[in-house]
Amino acid sequence: MIARVYVGLKPGVLDPQGRTIASSLNDLGFEEVQDATQGKVIELKLANGERDLVKARVKEMCEKLLANTVIESYRIELDETEE
């Protein structure tokens, strides 16, 4: 099973990297870009298990290590397809 964790800043937290990205794209001629936010995607390959238990374990990983929950929020997606 694959778990993808999307981590980004909570609303109201300053995002200097996002501002730099938007400004740089404007400078390159992409004037339609009004704002940008920067985050990260973490992909975890996990042993298959009961979906609710796997999601609870990944949530625990996020709370303990993968996200700084004071300033970041996260979203978890599970993909059970085999590759």
Would you give the DSSP letter of residue 41? Answer: E
Q: Which burial class, exposed, middle or buried, applies to 74 when counting CB atoms under 10 A from its CB (0-12, 13-18, 19+)?
A: buried
Q: Which helix (H) or strand (E) holds 7?
A: strand 2-9
- Range 58-76 average pLDDT: 98
Q: Is the pLDDT of residue 82 over 90?
A: no
- For 58, the domain range is 2-79
Q: Give the pLDDT confidence score for residue 51 in this predicted structure.
A: 95
Average model confidence (pLDDT) for the chain?
Answer: 96
Indicate the number of domains in the chain.
1
Which residues are CB-neighbours of 45 under 8 A, at least 6 positions away?
A: 1, 2
Residue 80 binned pLDDT confidence (cut-offs 50, 70, 90): confident
Pair 82, 68: CB distance under 8 Å: no
Q: Is the pLDDT of residue 83 over 60?
A: no
Indicate which CATH number applies to the domain containing 42.
3.30.1280.10
